[in-house]
A = this chain, B = another copy of it.
Amino acid sequence: MQLNPFIVRPFVERALAEEIGPGDTTGGFLLEGDEEADGQIYAKDRFIVAGLPLAEETFRVLDPASVLVREVEDGQRVEPGQTLLRIHAKVWALFAGERTSLDFLQHLSAIATSTARYIEILKPYPRTRLTDTRKGVPGMRVLQKYAVRVGGGWNHLFGLHNAILVKDNHIKIAGGVCPAIEKLRAKAQHTFKIEVEVESLEQVREALEAGAEIIMLDNMDMAAMQEAISLIGGRAMIEVSGGITEEKLERYAQLGVDIISSGAITHTVKAVDISLDIGDIKPSARREIGQKQELVAGRR
């Protein structure tokens, strides 16, 4: 599922507005006008790259005549010193877009990298998927979920609008697992599977009886979980969530769980280190990027 410019642009515009405000008071006074230069974004850590479409859009929004050349693609692992993106643009645009483009890359690459570490652990267990949750930085969900996919993970629901996920508060309001499922089966969009989060074997039984298609075992201990899994006996997809660590991940996979969902991969983020170097001002630089040159003409 691509991160297309129509989706990316508002994130970039909002971030640039915050960064630039009424103007760049340092860079703005050091320049005469439309000087141009080359810049390159390069890694200072070892990580999986995610966020190049955002970094590129940052410079395109500022300077539609920017020339952008990717040296790697999202999803690729890079080493310290490795160049990710070459940019030829107006210098004011390089100054103005530096922090924003780096922040997108640092945040999203971090998510992709930690996702990839989990996915590596799950490799011997092809049945089991690692998904994200809705937890994370509010307003950044579409991007964070993209980074999870880049890291090899799967997405769980994008919001209240695109899945049926019955949780404790719903069960309380509906008066039980069965009444909740019955109401939803009677009224909701037929293309959704019904997923229920349960906390006890009793609730597992109710969920099965009411025909839940996905049962999420929430914070159960290993013994209860094993009992729940054998109780379900293939009649529903099994999801486990809550406090996922690398060790737990492997044990859940061994139990044959279908989905392991982790809030931490999006709500807890350790940024990777990335920098931008600007070269000398050379009006002819545009021609020096070479064969890979790709003129992004007419971008908004």
* Interface positions of A (Cβ within 8 A of B): 1-2, 4-7, 11, 14-16, 18-31, 33, 35, 37, 61-62, 64-65, 91-96, 98-100, 102-104, 106-107, 129, 131, 134-142, 145, 154-167, 169-170, 172-174, 180, 183-184, 187-193, 195, 214, 237, 239, 258-259, 263-264, 267-271, 276-278, 280-281, 297-300
Copy number in the complex reads: 6
- Chain B residues, CB < 8 A from A35: 173
Let me know if B141 and A22 touch, CB within 8 A.
yes
Let me know if B160 and A25 touch, CB within 8 A.
yes
Known: A25-B188, A31-B173. A16 touches B20 (CB 8 A): no
Let me know if B22 and A173 touch, CB within 8 A.
no
Instruction: Return the chain B residue nearest A73 by Cβ.
Output: B33
Let me know if A160 and B278 touch, CB within 8 A.
no
Contact of A141 among B18, B24, B28, B139 (CB under 8 A): B18
Instruction: Return the chain B residue nearest A237 by Cβ.
Output: B190
Listed A/B pairs (30) with beta-carbon separation below 8 Å: A1-B23, A4-B93, A6-B16, A6-B61, A18-B22, A18-B139, A21-B158, A22-B145, A22-B158, A24-B160, A26-B163, A26-B165, A26-B184, A30-B170, A91-B173, A99-B135, A99-B160, A158-B161, A162-B189, A169-B276, A173-B278, A173-B281, A190-B259, A191-B192, A191-B195, A192-B192, A192-B193, A193-B193, A268-B270, A299-B300
Let me know if B19 and A166 touch, CB within 8 A.
no
**Shortest CB–CB separation between residue A103 and chain B, in angstroms?**
4
Known: A4-B96, A21-B161, A184-B26. A15 touches B139 (CB 8 A): yes
Instruction: Return the chain B residue nearest A164 by Cβ.
Output: B26
What separation, in Å, do the CA atoms of A169 and B87 have in the docked complex? 14
What separation, in Å, do the CA atoms of A137 and B102 have in the docked complex? 10
Chain B CB within 10 Å, residue with most, of A24, A29, A65, A92: A29
- Chain B residues, CB < 8 A from A158: 18, 21-23, 161, 189
Known: A4-B92, A138-B104, A271-B135. A26 touches B187 (CB 8 A): no
